[in-house]
Amino acid sequence: MNSTTLAVRHSSPGSWLTDLFWNKPGLFIFCLLLPPLLWLGIIYIGSLFTLLLHSFFSIDEFSGLIRYEFTLKTYAELLSPANFDVILRTILMACAVTLAAALIAFPIAYYAARYANQKMKALFYLGVMLPLWSSYLVKIYAWKLILAKQGIVNWVVEGTGATFLLNSVLSLPVVGGNSLAVSYIGTFIVLLYVWLPFMILPVQASLERIPESLLEASGDLGAAPKQTFRLVILPLALPGVIAGSIFTFSLTMGDFIVPQIIGSSRRFIGQAVYAHQGTAGNIPLAAAFAVVPIVVMIIYLYFAKKRGAFDAL
């Protein structure tokens, strides 16, 4: 069949190439893949590799220049109490944000997946997509306005006479502070706000995939709605929650702008990376710090894959 059609084709300039690719589809795929693979391979994987390389170098204490020799000294520095605190603090914050995001996302996703009609569904989808895609900095800026000394939160608190409530929250050890804008609570709220939409979409997708008949069967077999929810819906929605948690966890762990603008002066991993590579010029230590989220994410992804979260992406 091919030979007859090929014979009909006129000898236009590109036709020999067409014939070549038609006869050798593997070559065609190879040519398609070559530019993107070269780009991502050289620029992205290449730079990741130099990052890894840098983390095995060290900084000369006297000259402040990078000594390009293999050493584990920089990694040992990570384990110093001050630096280890930074890592622990970041991971705890990422866990807290992820848990809170799952709790807030679930009702939104559940309503959109099970009760919303076609029109409402579109509205919900846009309602999640718009905040997800709108400017990251503007979102943080909005919270700076909200949490400012003369901002809306203090206005509401003073107006309703809830000052004592806010004060008692702020007087909590560790998480509290002089005001919301300089406390862990503030950092937590803004991180939650910024990354929440990434949790909603995968949860909703996994809930939508649960067939109606399964829930009906559960009811027919005598399960109360609560039991159906706990024993049928939750386990089936879990991969979606884990898929969403990959985003919230990873993005929180790498964020250095939110804690810099809203939060106490205690550093997170991202801030440490940024500070060390900047004026200090200590790229090796910055690189070693950056390897931590990569390792944590690799472990996280391994367990997420085991729970089937990748099919829910």
Partner 1 sequence: MHFRKRASLGLKASAVCGLAFLHLPILLIFLYAFTTEDKSYQFPPPGLTLKWFGVTWNRPDVWASLQLSLEVAAVSTLLALILGTLCAAAVSRAKFFGREAISLLVILPIALPGIITGISLRSAYNILDIPFSTFTIILGHATFCVVVVYNNAIARFRRMSGSMIEASFDLGATGFQTFRYVVLPNLATALLAGGMLAFALSFDEVIVTTFTAGQQQTLPIWMLEELVRPRQRPVTNVVAMVVVMVTFLPILGAYYLTRDTSASRN
Residue 164 tokens, joined? 């004592």
Using the rule CB under 8 A, give the single segment among 13-21, 71-79, 81-89, 167-175 that binds partner 1.
13-21
SS3 57: coil
Q: How far is the C-alpha of 113 from the C-alpha of 201, rounded, in Å? A: 10
Binding partner 1 (rule: CB under 8 A), the pick from 92, 152, 231, 234 is: 152
* Contact flag: residue 235 with partner 1 (CB under 8 A): no
Minimum CB distance to partner 1, residue 176 (Å): 22
* Contact flag: residue 91 with partner 1 (CB under 8 A): no
Minimum CB distance to partner 1, residue 173 (Å): 27
Residues with Cβ < 8 Å from 124, sequence gap 6 or more?
108, 111, 112, 116, 204
Could you give the count of Cα atoms lying within 13 Å of 293 in the half-sphere of its Cβ?
Answer: 30
Place of tokens 């004592």: 164
Place of tokens 């409530």: 165
Smaller CB separation from partner 1, 174 or 221: 221
Smaller CB separation from partner 1, 4 or 171: 4
Residues with Cβ < 8 Å from 145, sequence gap 6 or more?
151, 152
Minimum CB distance to partner 1, residue 177 (Å): 18
Nearest Cα to 98, choosing from 210, 220, 246? 246
Smaller CB separation from partner 1, 171 or 202: 202
Q: How far is the C-alpha of 251 from the C-alpha of 296, rounded, in Å? A: 12
Q: Report the site for partner 1 in 166-225 (rule: CB under 8 A).
A: 193, 196-198, 201-202, 215-216, 218-220, 223-225
Binding partner 1 (rule: CB under 8 A), the pick from 129, 165, 172, 234 is: 129
Minimum CB distance to partner 1, residue 162 (Å): 16
Q: Report the site for partner 1 in 23-82 (rule: CB under 8 A).
A: 25-26, 29, 32-33, 35-37, 39-41, 43-48, 50-51, 53-54, 66
**Helices and strands, number each (H, E), in the chain:** 18, 2
